[in-house]
């Protein structure tokens, strides 16, 4: 019997690339005011085009991935409302939103819960020492702030994705500490759907030289994570950031179970294109794995969703069941 390796058929909408953080390794951010925000009209045009895709290329997840407007900025309210309105628009077109917009307040998370099938925030690492190096100009990368958001997601019953960024100056002891903390948090609230292990890859825009994370170390990270995390938490590896097909297969053998959102463009790592689904499937099949699409929310979390979102998720699940 083949083992399933899941992925989410996704499309990324970026409300804004501007961000008040200046992470040394970032290839996403732009200076505040450097580019216009995504308009609802433009987003609607994109969503209409996605509705016309053939069944084999059907999208279910709309990832709202945004740079951060400072919490004390007079533009913060407008920024948040744009994200909320884009989520509502995605639902109206029959898609399931998943928002990752950096640090949010409890009130903002509460409101977004009603229009998101799931949400996410990379914990990256709990190591405070990174605040003196790659995160020294990134106030919202304070581990305590990010940890608080993961806690709030649990109390609000938001299906959540988090993860580790590997190769930014941390140690394997830091991996263990961060993974153990995530496992403990999940045991309390049962809300962590997946943990991403993201190897750092350099890009054209980063402000400082940060070397690529060694691929062979990724297999070790997977082994460690699988030993620490509960089996209910999917372990995700981004296939476009893996150096070779063999490393990807080795990661799956070590316990990775998911390939994340496969999008036309990886907005965080624009230099690294996702491989075609047919290519991934052709790699996995001889090794005994089957590539299977999933929604951005697991069925066991449908009871946590607003009625509108639960209805959309059920429709996708019914279509999938009828195609078996």
Q: What percent of the chain has pLDDT over 70?
A: 98
Residue 317: per-residue pLDDT: 86
Residue 276: per-residue pLDDT: 95
Instruction: With CA atoms as reference, report the closest residue to 18 among 139, 141, 101.
Output: 101
For residues 52 and 49, give the distance between their C-alpha atoms in angstroms, rounded to a whole number. Answer: 5
pLDDT digits (tens, 9 = 90+) for 180-198: 999 999 999 999 999 999 9
For residues 238 and 318, give the distance between their C-alpha atoms in angstroms, rounded to a whole number. Answer: 28
Please report whether residue 319 resides in a domain.
no
For residues 112 and 101, give the distance between their C-alpha atoms in angstroms, rounded to a whole number. Answer: 11
Please report whether residue 86 resides in a domain.
yes
Query: Is a pLDDT exceeding 70 seen at residue 74?
Result: yes
Q: Quote the strand ranges of 160-308, DSSP E.
A: 160-166, 192-199, 234-236, 258-262, 289-293
Residue 323: per-residue pLDDT: 60
Average pLDDT, the chain: 95
**Residues 9-32: b if buried by 16+ CB within 10 A, e if exposed:** bbbbbbbbbbbbbebbbbbbbeeb
Residue 233: per-residue pLDDT: 98
Confidence of residue 268 (pLDDT cuts 50, 70, 90): very high
Residue 210: per-residue pLDDT: 83
For residues 305 and 114, give the distance between their C-alpha atoms in angstroms, rounded to a whole number. Answer: 7
Residue 320: per-residue pLDDT: 62
Residue 321: per-residue pLDDT: 53
Query: Is a pLDDT exceeding 60 seen at residue 270?
Result: yes
**What CATH number is given to the structural domain containing 274?**
3.20.20.70
Q: What percent of the chain has pLDDT over 90?
A: 91
Which residue is listed with tokens 């990807």? 248
How many angstroms separate the Cα of 303 from the Cα of each of 25, 50, 70, 90, 162?
Answer: 38, 27, 33, 20, 21
Domain span holding position 298: 3-309
Query: How much is the average pLDDT of 145-153?
Result: 97
pLDDT digits (tens, 9 = 90+) for 44-64: 999 999 999 998 889 999 999
Please report whether residue 317 resides in a domain.
no
Please report whether residue 202 resides in a domain.
yes
Please report whether residue 318 resides in a domain.
no
Which residue is listed with tokens 């279509």? 319
Please report whether residue 314 resides in a domain.
no
Please report whether residue 316 resides in a domain.
no
Please report whether residue 270 resides in a domain.
yes
* Overall number of domains in the chain: 1
């Amino acid at each position: 019997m083949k083992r399933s390796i899941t992925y989410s058929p996704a499309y990324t909408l970026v409300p804004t690339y501007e961000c008040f953080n200046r992470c040394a390794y970032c290839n996403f951010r732009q200076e505040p005011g450097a580019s216009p925000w995504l308009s609802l009209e433009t987003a609607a045009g994109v969503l209409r085009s996605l509705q016309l895709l053939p069944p084999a290329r059907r999208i279910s997840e709309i990832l709202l991935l945004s740079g951060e407007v400072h919490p004390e900025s007079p533009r913060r309210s407008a920024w948040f409302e744009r994200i909320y309105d884009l989520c509502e628009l995605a639902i109206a077109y029959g898609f399931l939103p998943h928002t990752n917009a950096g640090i949010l307040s409890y009130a903002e998370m509460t409101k977004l819960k009603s229009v998101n099938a799931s949400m996410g925030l990379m914990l990256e690492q709990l190591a405070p020492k990174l605040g003196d190096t790659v995160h020294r100009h990134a106030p919202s990368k304070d581990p305590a702030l990010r940890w608080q958001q993961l806690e709030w997601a649990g109390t609000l019953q938001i299906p959540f994705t988090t993860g580790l960024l590997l190769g930014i100056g941390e140690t394997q002891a830091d991996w263990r500490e961060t993974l153990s903390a995530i496992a403990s948090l999940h045991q309390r609230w049962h809300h962590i759907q997946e943990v991403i292990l993201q190897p750092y890859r350099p890009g054209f825009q980063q402000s400082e030289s940060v070397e690529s994370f060694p691929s062979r170390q990724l297999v070790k990270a997977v082994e460690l994570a699988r030993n620490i995390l509960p089996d209910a938490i999917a372990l995700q590896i981004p296939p476009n950031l893996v150096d070779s097909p063999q490393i990807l297969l080795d990661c799956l053998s070590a316990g990775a179970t998911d390939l994340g959102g496969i999008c036309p463009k990886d907005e965080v790592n624009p230099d690294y294109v996702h491989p075609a689904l047919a290519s991934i499937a052709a790699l996995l099949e001889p090794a005994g794995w089957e590539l299977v699409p999933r929604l951005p929310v697991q069925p066991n979390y449908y009871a946590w969703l607003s009625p509108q979102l639960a209805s959309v998720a059920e429709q996708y699940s019914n279509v999938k069941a009828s195609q078996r």
